[in-house]
Structure 1
């Protein structure tokens, strides 16, 4: 988007154009096949809490590229730490998308809940689990958990 064009946050087409613009700002970026924000366990339970799993074939490119932009991520398969200030920046950056009332915004809702969970228990940690290609090696235990949560898929090593 040039500086002369006002982004249209109110339509799916406008959101797609915003996502395309953000993608073009990251060298080598590609949309993930699957991704999720995850929170470390709040109890002795070893499993990570996956905020919202964006499955293969999903339509959540804008939240993915917003988070990648905030984290400076290139789109490769990885598990990356997400600081509270980075999560808040992503929430602020994506919030205008709520003007598009024809779409649900599950990532935004999940991020807000995760931010509250982190505020309530500062010992917890957040990570971004990003899978560029399902044939890539699993990048962490939580990556394996996310891949296992995707119906019909099993963690790959």
Structure 2
């Protein structure tokens, strides 16, 4: 999914978001989402999120959804290092737009560094379609706690 494109304007970011969204029939941005890191043996309750999104980050949300196969709804997905590398590469063209910050790309890179340094660590993408949805798993619960603590 790597590209030589550069999305240097807000309009180009919006167009990229629409292109990715078109790949998931009926895509709706989640109310809350994040990419976190957990440790095997340490239990999912220890899932940490370097950056959380509540109504924000629609482009990285859909890029990650396309890559992990998330069709919508509330769910969590383990993300391997190779898939995370692909997600970072897919979002790199967005860095050309200096009109907005890119906290998700920075967070993804932080998670990737943790995976490289800790064989027991793994990444997890968590999507919450509606905060009223039942909690999907312990990673979902951890994200909800992190967002409510902000």
- TM-score (ref. length: structure 2): 0.88
- Per the alignment, residue 99 of structure 1 pairs with 96
- Asked if residue 50 in structure 1 is aligned to residue 63 in structure 2, the reply is no
Q: Is the 8 A contact 1:8 1:15 kept in 2?
A: no
**Structure in which a larger fraction of residues adopt helix:** 2
Q: How many residues align?
A: 146
1:152/1:123 CA distance change after superposition, 3 Å: closer
Farther off after superposition, 43-52 or 16-25: 43-52
**Could you say which structure has the greater relative contact order, defined with CA pairs below 8 angstroms and 6 or more residues apart?**
2
Q: Deviations over 1:61-91 (max 9, x none)?
A: 1100110111121122101110111000000
1:103/1:41 CA distance change after superposition, 3 Å: same
Aligned mates of 2:145, 2:111 — CA distance in 1: 21
Question: For 1:1-157, what aligned pairs fall within 5 Å after superposition?
Answer: 9-41=7-39, 46-55=45-54, 57-58=55-56, 60-151=57-148
Runs (5+) with no aligned partner, structure 2: none
CA deviation after TM superposition for structure 1 residue 43, in Å = 8.7
CA deviation after TM superposition for structure 1 residue 151, in Å = 3.3
Farther off after superposition, 7-16 or 80-89: 7-16
Root mean square deviation, CA, Å:
2.2
Q: Deviations over 1:123-143 (max 9, x none)?
A: 111111100111111111121
- TM-score (ref. length: structure 1): 0.85
Runs (5+) with no aligned partner, structure 1: 1-6
Aligned mates of 2:117, 2:148 — CA distance in 1: 31
4+ aligned runs moved over 4 Å, structure 1: 42-46
